[in-house]
Structure 1
Amino acid sequence: MQSLKEFLDQKVEQYNRPDFITLDPISIPHRFSKKEDIEISGFFAAILAWGQRKTIINKCLELFKMMDDAPHDFMMHHREEDLKPFLNFKHRTFNDIDTLYFIHFLSWFYKTHNSLEEAFTLGQNGQLDAMEGILISFQELFFSLPDSPLRTRKHIATPARKAACKRINMYLRWMVRDDKKGVDFGLWKKISPSQLICPCDLHVDRVGRKLGLISRKQTDWLTALELTEKLREFDASDPVKYDFALFGLGVEEKF
């Protein structure tokens, strides 16, 4: 077990570096310096992180160009006619209906709150296992506005439907982890890195199984919890740092 920890610690050091930002969706929020712009662009980038990374990045660039590369200002001040370009936006199954509802929610939320962090603290109870409640509460809040489209619900995963919640967990890693390495932002302080759940994507899942960190047959919320529990044995205060190692091994080294 110790040798596996040492191996993964070495891989974290190798991949948790700004050099690897360019090819990753996290490069999108790194284009901004204003906190609210980082939150909004990061949220979209995480939700759209589906398919080839180059395509994801290009789609995000296209989306924020429609907001004059000032997403928070757009949320606060756009007019009805400013929404027309978004009728042509599409990435995989994320279409104009979804885009417009995301804008609608974010506009509504930022008009009464300073940070999207507040939307993720409704289920926070300070316990190590708080993330399930945090994510369920966030999804309920996100679709609490009148006329929220039923079809859009598939884009915000929730443990209530047993989903692994890969994209939201990835977004929270970006916003919460604060190791001063220049990759994750560490903007949010009301969630502890110890509470984070490892984003269980295809590559992480495959490598996790090869290393014996996952035994569950399917990939769902319980799988993400199982993986994170194993990673807590290596670092209880920051288990999700090993996402860098598992993802790097899967994508860069085809482990």
Structure 2
Amino acid sequence: MQVSRQNIIDFLNRKVLEYDQPRFIPDDPVCIPHQFSQPADIEIAGLFAAIFAWGNRTTIINKSRELMALMGNSPHAFVLHHSPADLKRLVSFKHRTFTATDLLYFIDFLQRHYQQYPSLESAFLKGLQPGDQDTTGVLNGFHHYFFSGEDVPPRTRKHIAAPFKNSTCKRLSMYLRWMVRQDPHGVDFGLWRGISPSQLVCPIDVHVARVARRFNLLQREAIDWKAALELTSWLRKLDPIDPVKYDFALFALGIVEKY
């Protein structure tokens, strides 16, 4: 049976309205940055929550909270003013393949950045070029900037995805959604204005890809950056201004409703 494009749009829009609500927050990693009110705290807490976001959501949230507690629940102040004794508290931290080695490099990078800039947005804007239609350059630029420090642990490189590696970049795309998207319902923060919501790329994983294929929004078999761009190009036809709002619908249909 053929389903009209309008029926698909109407159905997905209903799902967006159903899940893009404050009640979505407590069970999602976005609850971690929502613990804070200052923009820099939100940025740092959000970055770690997004980087940790693979596997069980309860574990992701618990490990993120554990790290925030180790940072005195003041991540920006910790990043800027930590002592060697403060760093020592972090050496036992581990989340799946993310170890203290990775964490200490992240802290070092964040300290170097925030000593020069008030916001983490500038780290992502380094790769943005006039006329960019999506965040390919943004994420490639962030990857290069993130690893521009001295003595980068080789193992840490796997934790920052980039389009030039044809990664899905799911977690960083989700993070950009949190920081950039102007959300009338208050789930996403919309702190950053240098990147347009229309440029965002929809986070994709096996569950989102499965749902997207059911709606003929995705043909590519591989789940990679090219698939993320293909899916997003379809979503822009549904809403050219705010295409990644459909992340709520696709995520919910794939994970919550097992569609």
Which of 113, 132, 138 is matched with 1:134 structurally?
138
How many residue pairs align between the two structures? 255
Matched, 1:27 2:67: no
Matched, 1:36 2:40: yes
Tell me which amino acid in the other structure corresponds to 2:208: V
In the TM superposition, what are the counterparts of 1:1-255 in structure 2 within 5 Å?
1-255=5-259
| In structure 1, distance between residues paired with 2:93 and 2:57 | 18
Give the drift of 1:159: 0.5
| In structure 2, distance between residues paired with 1:99 and 1:6 | 43
Give the drift of 1:219: 0.4
State whether residues 175 and 185 of structure 1, in contact with CA within 8 Å, keep that contact through their aligned partners in structure 2.
Answer: yes
State whether residues 180 and 195 of structure 2, in contact with CA within 8 Å, keep that contact through their aligned partners in structure 1.
Answer: yes
| In structure 1, distance between residues paired with 2:14 and 2:235 | 14
Q: Which runs of 5+ in 1 are unaligned?
A: none
TM-score (norm 1): 0.98
Cα distance per residue 1:39-93 (max 9 Å; x no partner): 0000000000011000000000110101110000001110112101211111110
Where has structure 1 moved over 6 Å in runs of 4 or more?
Answer: none
Distance 1:106 1:164, change over 3 A: same
| In structure 1, distance between residues paired with 2:88 and 2:213 | 45
| In structure 2, distance between residues paired with 1:214 and 1:155 | 26
Percent identity of paired positions between Structure 1 and Structure 2: 55
State whether residues 206 and 223 of structure 2, in contact with CA within 8 Å, keep that contact through their aligned partners in structure 1.
Answer: no
| In structure 2, distance between residues paired with 1:160 and 1:138 | 12
State whether residues 119 and 138 of structure 1, in contact with CA within 8 Å, keep that contact through their aligned partners in structure 2.
Answer: yes
Give the drift of 1:150: 0.9
TM-score (norm 2): 0.97
State whether residues 128 and 141 of structure 2, in contact with CA within 8 Å, keep that contact through their aligned partners in structure 1.
Answer: no
Give the drift of 1:211: 1.5
Give the drift of 1:130: 4.1
Q: Which runs of 5+ in 2 are unaligned?
A: none
Tell me which amino acid in the other structure corresponds to 2:51: I
State whether residues 128 and 194 of structure 1, in contact with CA within 8 Å, keep that contact through their aligned partners in structure 2.
Answer: no
In angstroms, what is the RMSD of aligned CA positions? 0.8
Cα distance per residue 1:127-158 (max 9 Å; x no partner): 24241111101000000000011110000000
| In structure 1, distance between residues paired with 2:99 and 2:177 | 26
Tell me which amino acid in the other structure corresponds to 1:98: D
State whether residues 105 and 152 of structure 2, in contact with CA within 8 Å, keep that contact through their aligned partners in structure 1.
Answer: yes
| In structure 2, distance between residues paired with 1:31 and 1:184 | 13
State whether residues 167 and 224 of structure 2, in contact with CA within 8 Å, keep that contact through their aligned partners in structure 1.
Answer: yes
